Amino acid sequence: MKTRMLGAALAIAALSGLLVASPAQAKDGVVDVRVSPSRGKGGGSARAHVDFVNKKKIVLRNFRVRDICPNDNYWVRAQIVWVNVDGSKGYGDRIWRDNGCGHSYNYGTFTHTSTKPIRYVRLQLIMFDSHVNGGEYSKYSGLRDNPYTR
């Protein structure tokens, strides 16, 4: 009887452990940012699902960029930004979306392996602005924490 109860208790404990999410799963998820167009300014959105593989490697899945516009001929760009544990930043290549008014384009999957441990990841959305010297302005998504660097 004691052996059977002990076996049942061990089986329940093992199953319970399988149902609990690991820390890496808890921090993976969607990052997104959106800006509505206004006079002299372009608008757009960017969205991706971030998967943290380890301290130095991230994977962005379904990286989507959308140009929101009334056929204004303004462009929108998006890029991934990571902040390393030491506070330094890194930037991915800028993804361009020109005059794709209203349609989101899926740029697929991007993988980045850093030389330093990554603390946070976010998206940067860059739009045309005729009122700003240099012609562009940015907005950032919220930060996504890397559970491997906690």
Q: What number of other Cβ atoms are within 10 A of residue 99's Cβ?
A: 13
Residues whose CB is less than 8 angstroms from the CB of residue 38 and which lie 6 or more positions away in sequence, other chains included: none
Helix (H, G, I), strand (E, B) or coil at 77: strand
Residue 86 has pLDDT above 50, yes or no: yes
Confidence band of 38 (pLDDT split at 50, 70, 90): confident
Q: What number of other Cβ atoms are within 10 A of residue 42's Cβ?
A: 27
Closest-CA residue to 123 (of 78, 56, 88, 65) = 78
73 φ, ψ (degrees, to nearest 5): 65, 20
Q: What's the predicted TM-score (pTM) here?
A: 0.74
pLDDT in tens, 88-122: 999 998 887 766 666 678 888 999 999 999 999 99
Confidence band of 35 (pLDDT split at 50, 70, 90): confident
- In order of their start, the domains of the chain are 23-149 (2.60.40)
